[in-house]
A and B are shown apart, each in its own frame.
Chain A
Amino acid sequence: MATNNHVLESVWKDAKEQGAGSAPLAGKELKTIVAVRTRKEYGTAGKYVWAMIVYQTILYWFLARTAETHWTDKQTVLLCLAGAALYSPLTVALIRRVKALFGGGRKAASPAAPDLLQKVEEDYTRLAEFFRFKKQMDWVGVPVSSAIIVMLTFTWFVQGGVEANPAAGIVVFAAWVGVSLIATRAENRKRFIAPLRRLEELLAELRDSGAMQREM
């Protein structure tokens, strides 16, 4: 196959001819596609939001219920209040970040369609910022929630609580933190590290002008 530029373009024209003839899009067809895509988009964002809401609701419900049922036990009530106080800033911050990731990010983008480089940069910055925040939140949130869960579980179900069983408390706490960290790491790798690496590769390719000039 001859490979000069003209032939390349002529083959491209043939390719276009082969692919031509697609029917114009009807308004009804477009509406159906848009409706399906909108549902899909909200579904994806909704998964995160619902998981977050469910987890936070369970945690706060657990703390409130424990405080209510052990109202006379000062230590339990204080522990519940401390847990809620420690966790609430994380909840507020998480809600803000999730809103920025799924809603605000679009508003922040330039009004016209961004070029390819700008789009990849925006995607990378948004994802990297959220991941940075999530890592910070994991470092605080995982030990705090694990400690609260272990202490309250021991207070409820183990005679003498954590004070009477410190070794068991530490082991359960360590196991809980370990399991949480393994799950978090796997989630981070799938949802953040791999996509960020891919975006980094794209950015490197888009910013590769200096290297190319030398090559030429």
Chain B
Amino acid sequence: MNGEVETTFLARLNENLGIAHQVCRTYFHRDAAQREELFQEILYQLWKSYPQFKGESKFSTWMYKVSLNTAITHIRRSRRTKQGAELAEAAETASGAPHPSEEISKAEKVQRLHEAIAGLSDVDKAIILLHLEEQSYEEISSITGLSRTNVSVRLVRIKRALKERLQGMA
């Protein structure tokens, strides 16, 4: 990658850096070390694939594709260590100091949502993440490779599952 391309890449990357962070949080919300590891892997894969990006899609759509593909591959490779780390992290979270009372409800809601999403399958996590990030059905379909109908049917099922999980936590 030459200097000019790298500068453009860096500027576009920084504009959309939240995408990489959201993907990392969705798949490893409890495990900070794995989250950092995945974040770096995503940046590397984006840097490596950028010369092939010809602008046929939006930069953000391309970035979601690369980030999610990397996350799915990363999870497959680190599944065993992840489970151990998440259990340790869960224990750490449970024994942590309470937040100030006003912050509890907001922080707790966020925590519960992440917990509920953590219980979904890897593919469902990708779909709900894209939906909550306000991607259209067409974009979700293009990123995941699922048909538009399949995406809408899955979203109904995922939301129902999330609703049940959140009610169970309340």
Interface residues of A, Cβ cutoff 8 Å to B: 1, 3, 5, 8-9, 11-12, 14-16, 18-20, 22, 24-25, 27, 30, 33-34, 36-38, 111-120, 123, 195, 198-199, 202, 205-206, 209, 212-213, 215-216
Residues from chain B with a CB closer than 8 A to the CB of A123 are 73
Bound complex: CA A119 to CA B49 (Å): 14
Cβ-based interface call for B101 (8 A)? no
Nearest A residue (CB) for B63: A113
- How distant is B24 from chain A, measured CB to nearest CB, in Å? 9
Known: A1-B109, A9-B132, A15-B110. A34 touches B44 (CB 8 A): yes
B residues near A8, Cβ cutoff 8 Å: 113, 132, 159, 162
CA distance A118 to B159 in the complex (A): 25
Tell which of A3, A16, A38, A206 touches B167, judged by Cβ atoms closer than 8 Å: A3
B123 close to A116 (CB less than 8 A): yes
Q: Taking CB as reference atom, which chain A residue is nearest B112?
A: A1
CB distance from B37 to the nearest CB of A (A): 10
- Pick from A111, A120, A202: contact of B52, CB under 8 Å: A111
Is B10 a contact partner of A25 (Cβ separation < 8 A)?
yes
Digitize B85-128: 1 where CB-to-A-CB distance is under 8 Å, 0 elsewhere.
00000000000000000000011011011100000011100100
* Additional A-B contact list (13), CB under 8 Å, known A14-B109, A112-B54, A116-B146: A5-B159, A8-B162, A12-B113, A25-B14, A37-B40, A112-B52, A113-B69, A115-B145, A116-B68, A195-B77, A205-B123, A209-B147, A216-B157
| Secondary structure dominating the interface of A | helix
Contact: A198 with B79, CB < 8 Å?
yes
User: Do most interface residues of chain B lie in helix, strand or loop, or is the interface mixed?
Assistant: helix
The 8 A CB mask of B130-170 against A (1 = contact, 0 = none) is 00100000000011111101100110110100110011011
Determine the distance from Cα of A88 to Cα of B150 in the docked complex, in whole angstroms: 50
> Which partner residue on chain B sits nearest A25 by CB separation?
B14
Pairwise interchain contact B113-A112, C-beta atoms closer than 8 A: no
Q: Is the CB of B109 within 8 A of A112?
A: no
Are A30 and B76 in contact, CB atoms less than 8 angstroms apart? no
Q: Is the CB of A24 within 8 A of B17?
A: yes
CB of B60 closer than 8 Å to a CB of A: no
Give CA–CA (A38, B6) in the complex, Å: 17
Question: How many angstroms between the C-alpha atoms of A132 and B153 in the bound complex?
Answer: 36
Distance of A141 Cα from B7 Cα, bound (Å): 50
Cα distance A115–B151 when bound, in Å?
A: 14
Contact between chains at B25 and A1 (CB < 8 Å): no
Given contacts A1-B166, A25-B17, A116-B65, contact A202 B122 (CB under 8 A): yes
Residue of A nearest to B62 (CB): A113
Q: How far is the CB of B48 from chain A (nearest CB, A)?
A: 8
Task: Decide yes or no whether B57 CB sits under 8 A from chain A.
Answer: yes
A19 touches which one: B25, B76, B106, B142 (CB < 8 A)? B25
Whole-angstrom distance from the CB of B8 to the nearest CB of chain A? 12
Q: Which of B14, B73, B144, B170 contacts A24 (CB 8 A)?
A: B14
Min C-beta distance of A205 to chain B, whole Å: 5
Q: Contacts of A195 on B, CB cut-off 8 Å?
A: 76-77
Is A30 touching B47 in the complex (CB atoms < 8 A)? yes
Partner of B57, one of A14, A18, A25, A112: A112
Name the residue of chain A whose CB is nearest to the CB of B73: A123
Contact in complex: B10, A116 (CB < 8 Å): no
B4 at the interface (CB under 8 A from A): no
